[in-house]
């Protein structure tokens, strides 16, 4: 794979994605510059559509926007505020656990480190990476979700089975200057052009650079 092709593809995808809305967690990051809200909204967003995440985050933060305030809520109250996000009952319990740890171990602040973030209940590599990139504005990680995993495999940039493997491989080939915005860009592209089923290859700006690995049907 030629490194120049990666730069060309990234440039074309970036141009295409200017017309689409940012993922909700990016919007919350831009509006609040608040690592705690980025962390919590990212947890709510897992297995949940952006429109649902946006409303749930708004309802929750209007009532409780700090670890201390969330800890004052009963788990049932949190469930009601965040419903119908995916796995809302589990997430409500995790939010309480996270906020308890933030208060007791980190003086109410979100830890600014990969190792410490991964110790929090319900925080995996994607949520950790999102928090580092969009909560702390660091160009230190490439958060990999289903869109990043699927699109980069279709492009044949990586040959991986799991997002964790994709993340490791992308660090080897993506210039560091692109790390922070990579997830944001590929989520928008994966939601609007390179969709999971029947991607819009006919109007894809990087069609000629894509090997369409695994694509059985397109539009």
Indicate whether 106 and 178 sit together in one domain.
Answer: no
Nearest to 117 by CA among 103, 131, 105: 131
Indicate whether 13 and 90 sit together in one domain.
Answer: no
Q: Is the pLDDT of residue 200 over 90?
A: yes
Quote the pTM value: 0.93
Interhelix angle 146-154/163-173, rounded to 10 degrees, is 60
Separation in Å, CA 85 to CA 18, 45, 106, 140: 27, 7, 27, 29
Domain that holds residue 151: 3-21+141-209
Q: What pLDDT score does 1 carry?
A: 55
What is the rounded CA–CA span in Å between residue 206 and residue 85? 33
pLDDT tens profile 33-90: 999 999 999 999 999 999 999 999 999 999 999 999 999 999 999 999 999 999 999 9
Three-state DSSP at 74 gives coil
200: phi then psi, degrees, rounded to nearest 5: -85, 65
* Residue 84, domain CATH: 1.10.340.30
Instruction: Give the distance, in angstroms, between the CA of residue 79 and the centroid of all CA atoms in the same chain.
Output: 22
In a domain, residue 166? The reply is yes
In a domain, residue 218? The reply is no
* Residue 153, domain CATH: 1.10.1670.10
The domain boundary residue, chosen from 116, 135, 154 = 135
What is the rounded CA–CA span in Å between residue 219 and residue 217? 7
In a domain, residue 26? The reply is no
Q: Is the pLDDT of residue 2 over 70?
A: no
The domain boundary residue, chosen from 117, 135, 153 = 135
Indicate whether 179 and 159 sit together in one domain.
Answer: yes
Domain count of the fold of the chain? 2
Indicate whether 73 and 94 sit together in one domain.
Answer: yes
Nearest to 66 by CA among 44, 91, 40: 40
In a domain, residue 216? The reply is no
In a domain, residue 217? The reply is no
What is the rounded CA–CA span in Å between residue 215 and residue 182? 22
Indicate whether 38 and 131 sit together in one domain.
Answer: yes
């Amino acid at each position: 794979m030629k490194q120049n092709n990666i730069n060309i593809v990234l440039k074309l995808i970036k141009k295409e994605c200017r017309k689409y809305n940012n993922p909700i967690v990016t919007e919350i990051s831009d509006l609040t510059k608040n690592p705690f809200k980025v962390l919590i909204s990212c947890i709510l967003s897992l297995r949940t559509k952006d429109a649902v995440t946006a409303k749930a985050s708004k309802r929750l933060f209007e009532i409780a926007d700090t670890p201390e305030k969330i800890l004052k809520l009963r788990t049932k109250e949190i469930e009601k505020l965040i419903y119908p996000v995916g796995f809302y009952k589990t997430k409500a319990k995790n939010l309480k656990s996270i906020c308890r740890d933030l208060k007791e171990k980190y003086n109410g602040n979100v830890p600014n480190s990969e190792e410490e973030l991964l110790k929090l209940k319900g925080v995996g590599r994607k949520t950790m990476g999102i928090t580092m990139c969009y909560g702390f504005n660091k160009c230190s990680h490439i958060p990999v979700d289903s869109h990043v995993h699927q699109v980069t495999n279709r492009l044949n940039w990586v040959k991986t089975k799991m997002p964790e493997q994709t993340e490791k491989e992308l660090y080897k080939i993506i210039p560091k200057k692109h790390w922070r915005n990579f997830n944001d860009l590929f989520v928008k592209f994966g939601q609007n052009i390179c969709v999971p089923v029947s991607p819009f290859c006919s109007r894809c700006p990087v069609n000629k650079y894509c090997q369409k690995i695994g694509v059985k049907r397109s539009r």
